[in-house]
Amino acid sequence: MYGGGVCRNTTYVVQRGDNLFRIALRYGTTVASIARLNGISNTALINSGRRLAIYACGQWSGGRVYVVQPGDTLYRIAVRFGTTVHAIQLANRLSSSFIASGWTLAIP
């Protein structure tokens, strides 16, 4: 988990191709935690479109979150909120600029 970060409950909408391991990495939590919070017994099977409750820890300073909309890019989101692409990547532990509609991003 993030050292010195803030933890909060959030919701994530499963996208096609997602798995619990990748979602857990993205939010700084564990597969077991997500499975327990959502009553999932078979962690290999999750359907796209399902809403998952996640207890996430991150380095949010302002406490703002944003749900990615179709057509969004990190650059457009950064401009909208007066921050940088790099700051959003750091706050969300993104290793690239790839984002998908439905993701919940911490906005520093």
pLDDT in tens, 20-32: 888 877 777 778 8
Rounded to a whole number of angstroms, the distance between the first and last alpha carbons of the chain is 18
**Of the listed ranges 19-23, 25-29, 42-46, 101-105, the one predicted with least confidence:** 25-29
51 and 64 in a single domain? The answer is no
- Do 75 and 95 fall into the same domain? yes
The pTM of the full predicted model, rounded to 2 decimals, is 0.50
Pair (83, 30) in one structural domain: no
CB atoms within 10 A of CB 29: 21
Q: What length is written for the chain?
A: 108
Same-domain status, 4 and 49: yes
Structure tokens at 40: 């999932």
63 — pLDDT class (breaks 50, 70, 90):
low
Let me know if 49 is exposed, middle or buried by CB neighbors in 10 A (0-12, 13-18, 19+). Answer: exposed
User: Where residue 9 falls among pLDDT bands split at 50, 70, 90?
Assistant: confident
Among residues of the chain, what percentage have pLDDT more than 90? 21
Look at the chain and report how many structural domains it folds into: 2
Mark whether 45 and 65 lie in a shared domain.
Answer: no
Tell me: do 66 and 51 sit in the same domain.
Answer: no
Q: What CATH number should be reported for the domain holding residue 70?
A: 3.10.350.10
* Residues 106 and 71 both lie in one domain: yes
Q: Rounding to the nearest 10 degrees, give the CA dihedral for residues 48, 54, 56, 62.
A: 80
Separation between Cα atoms, residue 67 and residue 79, nearest integer Å: 15
Domain range holding 5?
1-58
**Statement to judge: residues 31 and 68 lie in one domain:** no
For residues 14 and 51, state if they share a domain.
yes
